[in-house]
Structure 1
């Protein structure tokens, strides 16, 4: 039995297949971990959105905010600004991860000798580009 295992590990074809499978699995695991991170960040962003709505319903000038392991009482406008900044930071991080994810998916498809996905790297038009076209929400001109 040991002779068979030794002969298999010395075979260049088997080593090439094992290396390819290892690379493929590592790339897929990296993609899955990034997707999991995006899900967790979106959950945090949603919790911040809920906190912002709760602050809007409060009547006082100050609110209690959980900052790490401590509760801190701060002015409502500062709390809203803190939540807005945290939300923006999370959005930027999610966008960065998603942009990197596209390259990782392309790398995985290359490893698996699959053709690249068509339209996967498309980027939506910005508000300025939509305004030039006259198709922003609320604009009068729409193309058919």
Structure 2
């Protein structure tokens, strides 16, 4: 039987997934060590910090998280009094989520750390490699995230 073999270590989807997970795990040490945040909690906090007010659905769409992860993250941020829920006046079934002053403070503290982490990661590559990576990512995003 002549079957083709897939070299998993060279398969682009596998490599991208491993790389994204490794970067995410390394970066998570910053917000986990400082504030005990999980990845979903960080993503929800960062989304709200960037956009101001969002729904849980919008957070899930932006971060590509399943609604149950978003729900748990939102509940934990609310328990910590880092966000508040308000009913949407136009549609009472919708809850708008907004960071509290305490949540905004944590977000503002973590932003420079996130940017510094990104710079440290980029510094591991030459200028050409950074441009190549950015170009490749844009091409894949354009093809898949229409």
- Same fold (TM > 0.5): no
TM-score, scaled to structure 2: 0.28
The structure with the larger Rg is: 1
Which structure's relative contact order is higher, taking Cα pairs within 8 Å and 6+ residues apart?
1
TM-score, scaled to structure 1: 0.28
